[in-house]
Structure 1
Amino acid sequence: MARILMAALVALAMTGCASNVVTDYNSAVVFGDYSSWAFAPGAGNSSFVSLDGNRVQNAVERELNSKSLRKVAEPEADLLVSWQIVEEDRLQQSGVGLGFGFGTGNFGWGLSAPPPVREVKEGKLVVELVDKSTEEVVWRAASRRYLNENQSPETRRKLVDEVVAEMFTKYPPGMD
């Protein structure tokens, strides 16, 4: 019994350590040289800012301000912030499977059907910081958590805030 309890605690601890974001960066860049930023033209890949786009921009602005980076007009910026919500189709199981069986002793037969599966469209957030002078991506973060159409506006705002905050805990790189 003690072994099972210990294994469960270790599994729970490891689950808690799993990150909801993945980051990558150019290790040759001195991130302390950047002091200003602006959203890249076309950030969000749309001609207008969507509801989720507003949520993302507000969260990014809050996080970069907390890093002592100034928001300036695009021509004056050291970094350009590009972001997009990458749409993905995912399979989602709903409900439970059905099954029945019969037998006696150590022998028996069974038949079961898997739970129904449906395809849902979800979006994962990707944020990139681009060095304006070289026009190269110097830092990138991608979420492992997804927005979907079934979430309420408040749930979506909370999710965007949490994901963006976690992304920027890893900026500048090497500070964790």
Structure 2
Amino acid sequence: MARILVAALVTLLITGCASNVVTDYNSAAVFGNYSTWAFMPDTGETSFISLDGSRVQNAVERELNIKSMRKVAEPEADLLVSWRIVEEDRLEQSGVGVGLGFGTGNFGWGISSPPPVREVKEGKLVVELVDTSSKEVVWRASSRRYLNEQQSPEKRGKLIDEVVAEMFTKYPPDLD
């Protein structure tokens, strides 16, 4: 019994330490050369920033300020920050299945129905830093936590703040 409890605790600890973001970077980039940044100009059809877009931009700006990077006009920037919320569809089971069975001795029959399933649209945040001189992505982070339509504005804002903060704990990358 003690072994099972210890194994369960170790599994819980390892799972709790799993990162909520995934990062990638160009190992040839010299991250110490970057000191200024700007948001990449939006090339979409809309001329406004969505509610989540404003939340993302505020969080990115806060995190880059913590890194002592200075926000400047686009032509003067070392890095351009690009971000997007990638929509993904996920199937979600809700409730429980129902089953019925009968039988005698070693023989029986059963029938069951699976739990109801519905499609949920979720958004995964992706942030990229682009070197302005080479026009190449030098750092990328994506979230493993998702925004969905059922979240309140407060919960969405808190989630975006947490995810962006965790992303930038991995910037600049540890090049050991």
TM-score range, shorter chain: over 0.9
Range with greater deviation from structure 2 (36-45 or 8-17) = 36-45
Contact in 2 for aligned 1:44/1:84 (Cα 8 Å): no
Secondary structure of the residue that 1:144 maps to in structure 2? strand
The aligned counterpart of 1:96 is 96
1:122 equivalent in structure 2: 122
Q: Which residue of the partner structure matches residue 76 of structure 1? A: 76
* Structure 2 equivalent of residue 154 of structure 1: 154
Conserved? CA contact 2:79–2:132, under 8 Å: yes
The CA deviation at 1:6 is 1.2
Query: What is the Cα deviation at residue 94 of structure 1?
Result: 1.1
Cα separation, partners in 2 of 1:127 and 1:135, compared to 1, 3 Å: same
Report the residue type matching 2:62 in the other structure: R
Higher mean C-alpha deviation, range 131-140 or range 3-12:
3-12
Aligned to 1:62: 62
Work out the CA distance in 1 between the residues paired with 2:6 and 2:109.
Answer: 35
- Tell me the secondary structure at the aligned position of residue 54 of structure 1: helix
1:106-160 Cα distance to aligned partner (Å, 9 max, x none)? 6654332211111111110000000001110000000011101110000000000
2:1 aligned with 1:7, yes or no? Answer: no
Count how many residue pairs are aligned between Structure 1 and Structure 2: 176
Alpha-carbon distance between aligned partners in 1 of 2:25 and 2:43, rounded to the nearest angstrom: 19
- Unmatched 5+ stretches in structure 1: none
TM-score, length-scaled by structure 2: 0.93
CA 1:70/1:106 → structure 2, altered by over 3 Å: closer, same or farther? Answer: farther
Please say which of residues 163-172 and 41-50 is displaced more in the overlay: 41-50
- State how far apart, in whole Å, the 2-side matches of 1:157 and 1:125 are: 13
Query: Which residues of structure 2 form unaligned runs of 5+?
Result: none
- The letter of the residue matching 1:167 is M
> Against the structure 1 CA distance between its residues 44 and 10, is the aligned structure 2 distance closer, same or farther, given a 3 Å change threshold?
farther
TM-score, normalised by the number of residues in structure 1: 0.93
Deviation string, structure 1 residues 7-51 (Cα, Å, up to 9, x no partner) = 211110111111111000000111011000000001788532000
Distance 1:63 1:45 in 2: 28
- Counterpart CA distance in 2 for 1:157 and 1:132 is 29
Question: Residue 45 and residue 118 in structure 1: after superposition, are their counterparts in 2 closer, same or farther (change >3 A)?
Answer: farther
Q: Secondary structure at the match of 1:141?
A: strand
1:7-86 mapped onto 2 (5 Å cutoff): 7-42=7-42, 46-86=46-86
Change (3 A) 1:41 1:7: same
2: CA distance between counterparts of 1:7 and 1:106?
37
| Structure 1 residue aligned with 2:163 | 163
